[in-house]
């Protein structure tokens, strides 16, 4: 066979160009193929249900915004929404105050770091329901806390701790602590130790080193932890329902109540508000000057 009869696609000169084209395409195609199962799963089991929820809030009774407009004058919703936001704020603040020293100890520990990490994660591996029941035992009228205070002579009779707002805040703070500790500890580990040594060599006190060097450089981890805790606290249901005050319900509890009464449109509207609140908080953090870039770098 002469060279003139060889098809152009089979010529040796064409093969290198074909391979070069594949080499350019493959790096773009392979990540998509690897992520395709997860993307399909998220679309089927998350995006479609969320879209169905949003549509249900509009098509009851006739593709209108009546449910959303009614929320502005709904005293019950406004009170529940305020309780949800205030509880999330208190839980986030208390979690940060308690978690930062633990994260600092974890970042500076060497031989004991694995033990501290296990102590932090051990409650995290336990079900939220189990931990909520444990707090019911601790905070009950005849629980360990009341019995301990009575034994020490600090109380004359048991006080009401369970089924209060304080009980909800204590239990949620305990559950949320790993979400705050781990991002802060990660940010603290990335701080160059020579910066603290340089500040000390220039005459800074230990408190000055922490305030002017360590704390500012750990803000990316703090931003991630605060966002995680606040957003997760917005949707808490089990813990407030078990240990909280029945008169001060959260938005997730109100949604569950509306679903039980088959008020699907109103429940979908409340769910959309909860989702929009969480997404709005994430957007605010992303676009804050300085904090947004640090937040994205810490996530990477």
Can you give the pLDDT at residue 127? Answer: 87
Can you give the pLDDT at residue 232? Answer: 93
Boundary residue ending a domain (41, 58, 75)? 58
**Residue 11 sits in the same domain as residue 100:** no
**Residue 130 sits in the same domain as residue 171:** yes
Distance CA 179, CA 226 (A): 9
SS3 category, 193: helix
**Residue 89 sits in the same domain as residue 132:** yes
95-123 mean pLDDT: 88
How confident is the model over 2-59, as pLDDT tens digits?
444 545 544 444 456 666 666 777 777 788 888 889 999 999 998 898 888 888 888 6
Nearest to 134, CA basis, from 124, 125, 144: 144
**Residue 178 sits in the same domain as residue 204:** yes
* Structural domains in the chain (count): 2
Give the residue numbers spanning the domain of 38: 3-58
Split at pLDDT 50, 70, 90, the class of 101 is: very high
Can you give the pLDDT at residue 206? Answer: 84
**Position 213 pLDDT exceeds 80:** yes
Contact 208, 132 (CB under 8 A): no
**What are the angstrom distances between the C-alpha of 15 and each of 9, 11, 189, 259?**
8, 7, 50, 63
Instruction: Provide the token pair at 214.
Output: 């360590």
How confident is the model over 154-171, as pLDDT tens digits?
888 888 888 899 999 999
269-289 mean pLDDT: 85
**Position 69 pLDDT exceeds 90:** no
Distance CA 228, CA 220 (A): 12
**Pairwise pLDDT comparison (185 vs 67), residue with the higher score:** 185
**Residue 52 sits in the same domain as residue 100:** no
**Residue 114 sits in the same domain as residue 50:** no
Q: What is the chain's mean pLDDT, rounded?
A: 84
**Position 290 pLDDT exceeds 80:** no
**Position 260 pLDDT exceeds 50:** yes
Distance CA 46, CA 248 (A): 30
Here the CATH number for the domain that contains residue 208 is 1.10.3720.10
């Amino acid at each position: 066979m002469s060279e003139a009869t060889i098809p152009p696609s089979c010529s040796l000169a064409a093969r290198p160009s074909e391979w070069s084209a594949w080499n350019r395409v493959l790096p773009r195609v392979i990540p998509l193929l690897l992520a395709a199962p997860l993307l399909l799963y998220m679309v089927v089991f998350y995006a479609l249900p969320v879209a169905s929820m949003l549509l249900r809030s509009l098509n009851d009774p006739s593709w209108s915004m009546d449910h959303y407009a009614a929320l502005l004058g709904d005293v019950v919703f406004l009170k529940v929404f305020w309780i949800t936001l205030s509880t999330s704020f208190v839980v986030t603040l208390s979690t940060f105050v308690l978690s930062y020293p633990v994260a600092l100890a974890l970042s500076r520990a060497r031989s004991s770091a694995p033990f501290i990490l296990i102590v932090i994660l051990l409650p995290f591996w336990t079900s939220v329901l189990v931990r909520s029941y444990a707090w019911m035992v601790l905070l009950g009228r005849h629980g360990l806390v009341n019995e301990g205070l009575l034994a020490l002579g600090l109380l004359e009779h048991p006080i009401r701790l369970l089924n209060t707002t304080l009980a909800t805040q204590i239990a949620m703070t305990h559950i949320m602590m790993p979400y705050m500790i781990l991002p802060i500890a990660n940010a603290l580990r990335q701080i160059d130790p020579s910066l603290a040594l340089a500040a000390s060599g220039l005459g800074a006190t230990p408190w000055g080193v922490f305030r002017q060097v360590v704390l500012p450089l750990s803000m990316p981890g703090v931003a991630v932890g605060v966002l995680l805790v606040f957003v997760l606290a917005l949707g808490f249901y089990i813990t407030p329902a078990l240990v909280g005050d029945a008169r001060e319900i959260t938005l997730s509890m109100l949604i569950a109540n509306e679903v039980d009464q088959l008020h699907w449109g109103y429940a979908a509207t409340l769910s959309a508000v909860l989702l929009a609140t969480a997404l709005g908080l994430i957007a605010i953090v992303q676009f804050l000057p300085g904090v947004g870039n640090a937040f994205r770098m810490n996530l990477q």
